[in-house]
Amino acid sequence: MNRVAVVTGAARGIGAATVRGLAAAGWAVVAVDRASDDPRLAYPMGSEGQLHAVVASALAVTTGTMTASAGSDRIVAHVADTTDEEALGAAVALAEDRFGGLDAMVAVAGVIAGGVPLWEMPGDQLGAVLGVDLGGPITAARVGIPGLLRRPAPRQGRFLAVASAAATGGMPGLAAYGAAKAGVAGLVRGLAVDLADTGVTANAVSPGSTATAMLDESARLYGLEDTRPFADQQPIKRLLTPEEVAAALVWLAGVDSGALTGAVIPVDGGLSL
Catalytic residues: 177
Strand ranges in 199-267 using DSSP code E only, listed in sequence order: 200-207, 264-267
Q: At 44, phi and psi to the nearest 5?
A: -75, 145
Q: How far is CA 121 from CA 90, 109, 175, 230, in A?
A: 33, 21, 10, 22
- Work out the number of other CB atoms within 10 angstroms of the CB of residue 69: 15
Best CA proximity match to 175, nearest among 112, 84, 230, 242: 112
**Residues 6 or more apart in contact with residue 95 via CB below 8 angstroms:** 4, 5, 6, 28, 30, 101, 102, 147
Q: At 47, phi and psi to the nearest 5?
A: -105, 165
Terminus-to-terminus CA distance in the chain, angstroms?
Answer: 40
Strand ranges in the chain using DSSP code E only, listed in sequence order: 4-8, 28-33, 62-63, 66-67, 75-79, 104-107, 157-162, 200-207, 264-267
For residue 143, count CB atoms less than 10 angstroms from its CB and return exposed for 0-12, middle for 13-18, buried for 19 or more: buried
